[in-house]
Structure 1
Amino acid sequence: MPQVLCTALNTESGPHFPLLRQAGFDVTVAENPRSLFQPDILVKTAREVDAVIAGSEPWPRQVIEQLPRLRVLSRTGVGYDAIDLAACDDHKVVVATTPGVNHHAVAEHTLALLMGVARGFPERDQGVRSGHWVRVSTPRVMGRTLGLVGLGRIGQAVATRAIGLGMQVIAYDPFPNTLFAQQWKIELLPLDDLLSRSDYVSLHLPATADTKHLMNASRLARMKPGSVLINTARGVLVDEAALNDALRSGHLRGAGLDVFETEPLPLDSPLLQRENVLLSGHVAGLDDESQHDTLTMAADTIIQLSRGGWPEERIRNLSGIRDWKW
């Protein structure tokens, strides 16, 4: 019986279990998904499986090459920068994602972080807990400018919600959807112009060689004094040391971060000491509906591939595995 390991969820619940079992798979879960960030534990856990419904744990070459039985990595979500595609090509492992499923969840989380930082929730929460009620006014969000760095499916979902809050939305995207921008009256700008005009900057680009440390010290300095940075995309987009400096100096009023350069965020990170930073642990894309739909799609991908199907729109290493067989 083919074996499927689920590292994306550590409970035996969810729609993927009956789907896979009815299709003839034996399904197990990783008891401690966070431990799988250690390569040796990941290899030991996945050594006897044919397919994985993967979470955000890294899949480097040193892991892939020790798993000769592995045929499919079906990732919950749209990011796959933690997976070594070249290694998967070499070892004939299909890498798939679940596009078009979690953008509403990410958009809501993005605005939750934005509103939380805008209203000073980190400081106010700590103040109440320590018996000191902080009564300091904050700028109203309505009427402020939100700069979206990336106007894909998630950026668009953020844009429509922000416009509903009365914000002015501007955007940068290397390959913009001009029709959407025109429909919603979103001005498209070069990145540096966007940074200098935005009260809030929200990142929605994938992790690539070109976007690593996109927000470095130079670009953070170009941001409007007193502005706020939100990142629900990928941690490597932001130089965290430079961000900490910008927050410490007061150049930036705050930040809302769901993703980090190193995950989990090290406990010695200076960002943990910043009262003007609101943090969450790479969960922006996770709500009840998106979890159900991503797990369903991830399982369906494995089932289709096992039956000779080829869900091309979900596969991320097409060119390297054209001669792939289960």
Structure 2
Amino acid sequence: MTRVLITTDYLRPGDDVDRYLRAAGLETTHRPLVGRRDPEELVAALDGVDAALVANEPMTAAVLSRAPRLRVVVRTGVGHDSIDVAAAARHGVTVSNLPGINANAVAEYTLGLLLAAARGLVQSARGVADGGWPRADGHELRGATLGLIGYGAAARAVVPLAKAFGLTVLCTTRVPESERTAGPVEFVDLPELLDRSDYVSVHTALTDRTRGIVGPDELRRMKRTAVLVNTARGAVVQEQALADAVRAGEIAGAALDVVTEEPLPADSPLRGVDGIVVYSHLAGQTAQARAAAGREGAAELVAALAGRPRHAVNAHLFAVPATTAETTAETTTEETA
């Protein structure tokens, strides 16, 4: 019987996803990932497994090389930087994601972070909890400018919400002009976006090109009153540079739903910086988004096992020489939710 490993932590034995997979004739095993997992534990969990439904499980080249039966990996989300897709292709493993599955959740959350930053909501609540009664002035979003780095499904979903709040929206992206359909958005290059924006929101995939793309030079271009928001991937932003910029008053602050290492380490430079608020990677975590991801992830897994994946991110790497595959993998997916 075909065996499926499920590590996404909100999927449980006996739930709708489990019943769907079993009805398709698959044998399921649940090993939910909570926090970090030793690679040897993952290798052991993959022993004898044909397909895996995973969240942010680190499917490295070393792990994939020790899972000889594995044929399919489906990521129950959008970003797939935790999976070595080129190595997967070399081992004959199809890797799929679920593009746009949590776009609405991420878009709403992004506006929540903008509002919280503009009105100092976290600082106010902390002050009251500490026995005070903070009364600092906030700022209205109406009339301000929002810059979006990236033009994936989540960024596109942010646009109508931002416009409803009266924000002017700028965007920088490598998406071709023929595919730019989000309505009243002005497309500019990154330096101009940084110069003009009151809020900069990151929505780009993590690739070799985008890793650390927001660094000291970019932060210095931003307004001193500007706020950086990141709901994409932590490593897009250089964290030490961000901490230094906020401490120096080069920008007003940051609202980060993602960080380079999660959970946030005790020695992170982001800790203890007034103006930086770190959240626990919640942007896509709604009941609706999780339910959709479970259903769509299971359907994609069944389709991929049948040789008909709909959202394979490494199909172009099969039967390609290793050096070419590795180069291509770096430039394939530029935007994410």
Fold match by TM threshold 0.5? yes
Change (3 A) 1:136 1:201: same
The alignment-based identity, stated in percent, is 38
Alpha-carbon distance between aligned partners in 2 of 1:12 and 1:299, rounded to the nearest angstrom? 13
Q: How does 1:1-326 map to 2 (within 5 A)?
A: 1-10=1-10, 11-12=12-13, 14-36=15-37, 38-177=38-177, 180=180, 184-306=183-305, 308-311=306-309, 313-321=310-318
Go from structure 1 to structure 2 and tell me whether the alpha carbon gap of 1:42 and 1:202 turns closer, same or farther (over 3 Å shift): same
Q: Per the alignment, do residues 15 and 272 of structure 1 end up closer, same or farther by CA in structure 2, a change over 3 Å counting?
A: farther
How many residues were matched structurally? 319
Which AA in structure 1 matches 2:214?
A: M
- Cα 1:89–1:309 shift into 2, 3 Å: closer
Deviations 1:51-95 (A, max 9, x none): 111101211111111111211110011111111112111211110
SS at match of 2:36: helix
CA distance in 2, matches of 1:211, 1:31: 30
CA, structure 1 residues 109+125, in 2 after alignment: closer, same or farther (shift >3 Å)? same
**Structure 1: which 5+ runs fail to align?**
none
Q: Deviations over 1:132-188 (max 9, x none)?
A: 11110012111111011112221111111010111111111122556756x732211
SS at match of 1:148: strand
Work out whether residues 14 and 295 of structure 1, in 8 Å CA contact, stay in contact via their aligned partners in 2. no
Higher mean C-alpha displacement, 313-322 vs 89-98? 313-322
Unpaired runs of 5+ in structure 2?
Answer: 321-337
The alignment partner of 2:270 has SS state of: helix
Partner SS, residue 8 of structure 1: coil
Task: Check whether the contact 1:149–1:203 (CA below 8 A) recurs between aligned residues.
Answer: yes
Deviations 1:256-315 (A, max 9, x none): 111111222212213121242222222212211111111111111221233x3412x400
Tell me the CA shift for residue 210 of structure 1.
1.0
Q: In 1, are the aligned partners of 2:72 and 2:94 still within 8 Å (CA)? A: yes
Distance in 2 of aligned mates of 1:104 and 1:57? 24
Deviation at 1:121, TM superposition (A): 2.0
Partners of 2:75 and 2:297 within 8 A in 1: yes
Across the aligned residues of Structure 1 and Structure 2, the Cα RMSD in angstroms comes to: 1.9
Secondary structure of the equivalent of 1:256?
Answer: strand
* 8 A Cα contact 1:113 1:278, kept in partner: no
Letter aligned with residue 157 of structure 2:
A
Q: Secondary structure at the match of 2:35?
A: helix
Conservation of the 8 A alpha-carbon contact between 2:9 and 2:33: no
Once residues 189 and 68 of structure 2 are traced to their aligned partners in structure 1, the CA distance between those partners, rounded to angstroms, is 46
- TM superposition shift of 1:14: 4.2
Q: Residue 53 of structure 2 aligns to a residue in which SS? A: strand
Cα distance in 2 for residues equivalent to 1:107 and 1:260? 18
Of 258-267 and 135-144, the range deviating more from structure 2: 258-267
1:163-217 deviation line (CA, Å, top 9, x unaligned)? 0111111111122556756x73221111101101100000111111111111010
Structure 1: distance between partners of 2:145 and 2:278: 22
TM-score normalised per structure 1: 0.92
SS in 2 for 1:314: coil
Residues 237-260 of structure 1 deviation map (CA, whole Å, 9 limit, x = unaligned) = 100000000111122211111111
Work out whether residues 34 and 57 of structure 1, in 8 Å CA contact, stay in contact via their aligned partners in 2.
no
